[in-house]
Structure 1
Amino acid sequence: MNGGTSAPRTAESLFDREATAYVIIVGAALIFASNHILARYLGGIIPPMGFVFWRMAIGAAVILPFAGYGLFTQRHLILQHWKLFALMGLLFVPLGNGGIYAAYTFTTALNGGVVSAAQPAITVLLSALLWRDLINGKQGLGIVISAIGVLTIIARGNPQAILALEFNVGDLMMLGATGSVALHNVLVRRVPKEIRVPQLLVTVQLFGLLVATPLYIIESIYVRPVPVSGEAIMSLLWVGVVVTALAVGLTNASIRRLGPNKASISNYMRVLFTAGLAILLLSEDLQAYHLFGLVTVMGGVYLMTRGRSVPTG
């Protein structure tokens, strides 16, 4: 009797664990989408360097109590590779996330959400260029399809804009910021394996803050400071605590249970959530080129996800 009942219970418990992981990672995708919506909504209120400075400062303060001991024990190794972490901090904080916030001053959340979804394609391409990683047929096709989708969004569905090089500056900034985050992800391979994920996250944030601080000061003096208002404070707390700390932690936990391929659903859901929230909350207009770009970018990323090899060790 025991043998007959143990198998269903085991199967059910496995299903529950995987189902929970899917719910968690979809929830994290919704949180990441909220970052794009807030960035667009507050684009003319909170300046980009102030936005990213306080987001990373709050996020680091939240994560530091959990990563502090490991950070202290690995301090010599971190200082030994300080140039790498400084570069990663530059790419991730002011150029990457700061660039995303700057882009939303000029473009819509619909456009930005789809363009930023091409990050996996850019990551694969940069890995091939820097580390000579082989790109198989599915990955190559996925890169091409994603590029077509991004070009469609940047050109706003007008092929003549591509020929005339008439692009929206915000879309180009979003593409550059997405490339910066992708290059940061590629450089993770150079990080010593002794440094675990929480310590790596805080280290990159702290080095990024060192680079972003003078830019933030200059912005506050010559452009405008971060407003001291309830709306601004609540928004910064949301992106600092919920987006930077909670959503990243939930995503990492889900990846451990689902594996990178299944967890890639987060990329698709984030784009869909961003588009849906942009239409519902920001009253942005969904155009035919948005749908075409959305389908092609996500289709390209899907091909790359299915085409890559996953380590088994």
Structure 2
Amino acid sequence: MPRAALLAWAGLALAGLFWAGNSLVARAFVAEIPPFSLAFWRWSVALLILLPLVGPSLWRERETLRRAGWRLWLAALLAISLYNCLLYSAAQTTAAINISLVSTCLPLATFIGAGLLLGQWPSRRAWLGLLLAMAGLLWLIGRGDWAVLGGLSFAQGDLLMLLATLDWALYSLLLRRWQAYFQLPALTLLGALVLLGTLMLTPLYAYDLWRGARFAASPANLLAILYTALCASVLAYHLWNLGVRELGASRAAMSNYLMPVFTALLGWWLLGEGLQTYHWAGGALILSGLLLAGRVQEPRP
């Protein structure tokens, strides 16, 4: 595997780890921070982190940003504003592990979307990798017993998370499709998306304030916002955008199958939840599927 592709996969895995932590934070602080407020402050702090780094570049690239026009606004709406509001609203009524599990619909949605929007139907090897990783996911969900799958139930938050996953798939595909319009340094593009997305989140935060939904500026709440801003926003989004540029939307989406594995590992580390045989078996299947799909070269649009 080329060194650039290997680094892209490593970056996507790290992004998945950060997002698994974001799911835990979203659920742990559901009673402390309203969803729109968490989304707004997450990206406001992320913008404060990014502006010193990309401010001069944003000014230099203003003509490229102007040409991107409505495409840039739509990408910011999907990736920053809508996705995060759906995710944090989902956390109100579903568990963190459900958020991770439902988000693993992303590879299938992206595989189909890549064919419809980009004309790039994945190869048979990629589909085989997808099915292998999906089998590992189902083994994790069923805790090593296929009969458990028949008794699963889903909450309203799971539907919201499914909408968030479809939203993210569309963003990833458009990021690939409009690559010619987004000829910017990766961090500069992220800064532009965060700036526009935060502007669109402002009315929703004002709505939270209007209805009296506020949160205390406690150390725990501020630390949670800082984690979502730095790790789950600036670092994870930057790594994701780099991964999509290098590998394509379909292969990058396969990394989402790692999120339940990371959630299980974080649960073991932070909550003392034991790792069972089915965790290792499911993780091995998922990793095998990723390795198989990772050998496929996706053409650039």
TM-score category, normalised to shorter length? 0.7 to 0.9
Contact 1:114-1:294 within 8 A present in 2 as well: no
The reply to whether residue 197 of structure 1 matches residue 186 of structure 2 is: yes
Contact 2:107-2:253 within 8 A present in 1 as well: no
Which of 133, 136, 153 is matched with 2:123 structurally? 136
The reply to whether residue 62 of structure 1 matches residue 49 of structure 2 is: yes
Contact 1:32-1:243 within 8 A present in 2 as well: yes
- Alignment correspondent of 1:305: 294
Instruction: Give the TM-score taking structure 1 as reference length.
Output: 0.73
- Alignment correspondent of 1:7: none
Shift of 1:196: 2.0
Shift of 1:234: 1.3
Q: How many residues align?
A: 290
Of 216-225 and 49-58, more deviation after overlay is shown by: 216-225
- Alignment correspondent of 1:53: 40
Closer, same or farther: CA 21–174 of 1 in aligned 2, 3 Å: closer
- Mapping 1:1-313, distance limit 5 Å: 29-142=16-129, 157-159=148-150, 167-189=154-176, 190-191=178-179, 192-222=181-211, 224-249=213-238, 260=247, 267=256, 269-281=258-270, 303-309=292-298
Counterparts of 2:24 and 2:81, CA distance in 1: 19
Contact 2:12-2:240 within 8 A present in 1 as well: yes
Shift of 1:186: 0.9
Counterparts of 2:167 and 2:7, CA distance in 1: 32
Which amino acid counterpart does residue 195 of structure 1 have in structure 2?
L
Shift of 1:91: 0.9
Contact 2:20-2:260 within 8 A present in 1 as well: yes
Of 289-298 and 276-285, more deviation after overlay is shown by: 289-298
**Per-residue Cα deviation, 1:156-205 (whole angstroms, up to 9, x for no partner):** 944477xxxx6322222112111111211111131424322111111111
Counterparts of 2:212 and 2:287, CA distance in 1: 37
Counterparts of 1:193 and 1:22, CA distance in 2: 22
**Per-residue Cα deviation, 1:204-240 (whole angstroms, up to 9, x for no partner):** 1122122211112112322612332221111111211
**Per-residue Cα deviation, 1:38-68 (whole angstroms, up to 9, x for no partner):** 1111122212111111111111221122211
Counterparts of 2:275 and 2:213, CA distance in 1: 32
Shift of 1:84: 1.0
Instruction: Give the TM-score taking structure 2 as reference length.
Output: 0.76
Q: Secondary structure at the match of 1:228?
A: coil
Q: Which runs of 5+ in 1 are unaligned?
A: 1-14
Q: Rg larger in 1 or in 2?
A: 1
Closer, same or farther: CA 266–137 of 1 in aligned 2, 3 Å: closer
Counterparts of 2:279 and 2:92, CA distance in 1: 19
Contact 2:130-2:254 within 8 A present in 1 as well: no
Shift of 1:280: 5.0
Which amino acid counterpart does residue 180 of structure 1 have in structure 2?
D
Counterparts of 2:241 and 2:74, CA distance in 1: 23
Counterparts of 2:5 and 2:133, CA distance in 1: 29
Counterparts of 1:300 and 1:173, CA distance in 2: 27
Counterparts of 2:82 and 2:10, CA distance in 1: 31
Which amino acid counterpart does residue 106 of structure 1 have in structure 2?
T
Q: CA RMSD in A?
A: 4.1
Counterparts of 1:251 and 1:183, CA distance in 2: 14
Contact 1:110-1:284 within 8 A present in 2 as well: no
Shift of 1:124: 2.3
Which amino acid counterpart does residue 24 of structure 2 have in structure 1?
I
Contact 1:118-1:301 within 8 A present in 2 as well: no
Of 183-192 and 139-148, more deviation after overlay is shown by: 139-148
**Per-residue Cα deviation, 1:143-164 (whole angstroms, up to 9, x for no partner):** 566677888969x944477xxx
Counterparts of 1:59 and 1:148, CA distance in 2: 36
Q: Secondary structure at the match of 1:45?
A: coil
Contact 2:132-2:286 within 8 A present in 1 as well: yes
